[in-house]
Amino acid sequence: MYLKKELPHFYIENSLGGQQEWYSRFTDFGMNVGGCAAITACDCAIYFEKYFNLRGLYPFDLENISQEDYLRFGKIMEPYLYPRWSGVDKLEIYLDGFGRFLKDRGANNLKLSSWSGENNFSDSWEIICKQIDDNYLIPYLNLNHQDKTLQDYVWHWFILNGYEVRNDNYFVKAVSYGIGRWFNFMTLWDTGYQRKGGLILFEMI
């Protein structure tokens, strides 16, 4: 069996989506070190304006997204998902923060909900496929993980924008750090730790 779907995204020069590393460690330490949640929210806001025609989410030139404008946009998003000492480490914090951003911009028909990392693999795979089949990006919170190859994605928010099934192996595409990487979803979901992250789900109502 072979199945694959990837959602469109956007480039800023050679970067797939935005990057928290663009913020200066000296002048924007919080965003540089802990801005991953805000970055995923920025990418989602741009995506929904670009592909769902939800106007008013991105206040700059949508057809020519520059790094300078993206940095300015991130500072707009920062108060909603401001970096904390422990990070945006709960799905509820993201729901509240990004939900308030959308409400403030009149996007009341975009509903957010959460999907806990405590849910089983098969149900989680099914919900990911459904979301992507419905053309929704998925913000993903990964906390601790036993697999050392995922070290750069520990205590980190990123976006899922694709899935693939290859010979009964299940993969998801993670967008972060300006690139897209395919991960074995069974490995990614089974963190080996009791405390879990999870997914943010979208639905147009």
CATH number of 183's domain: 3.90.70.10
The neighbour count for residue 111, using CB atoms within 10 Å, is 13
**Chain Cα centroid distance, residue 6:** 14
Q: Which pLDDT does position 1 carry in this prediction?
A: 66
pLDDT digits (tens, 9 = 90+) for 182-200: 999 999 999 999 999 999 9
CA-atom Rg of the chain in angstroms: 16
What is the model's pTM?
0.96
The residue segments making up the domain with residue 25 are 2-204
d(CA 7, CA 16): 12
Q: Which residues of the chain have pLDDT under 70?
A: 1
pLDDT digits (tens, 9 = 90+) for 42-79: 999 999 999 999 999 999 999 999 999 999 999 999 99
d(CA 129, CA 51): 18
Give the count of domains, the chain. Answer: 1
Contact 163, 128 (CB under 8 A): yes
State the distance between the two ends of the chain, measured CA to CA, in whole angstroms.
33
d(CA 36, CA 11): 17
Q: Which pLDDT does position 81 carry in this prediction?
A: 96
d(CA 116, CA 113): 10
Query: Beta 169-176 vs 15-16: how paired, if at all?
Result: unpaired
Give CA separation, 166 vs 3, 85, 173, in Å.
Answer: 7, 39, 13
Helix (H, G, I), strand (E, B) or coil at 112: strand
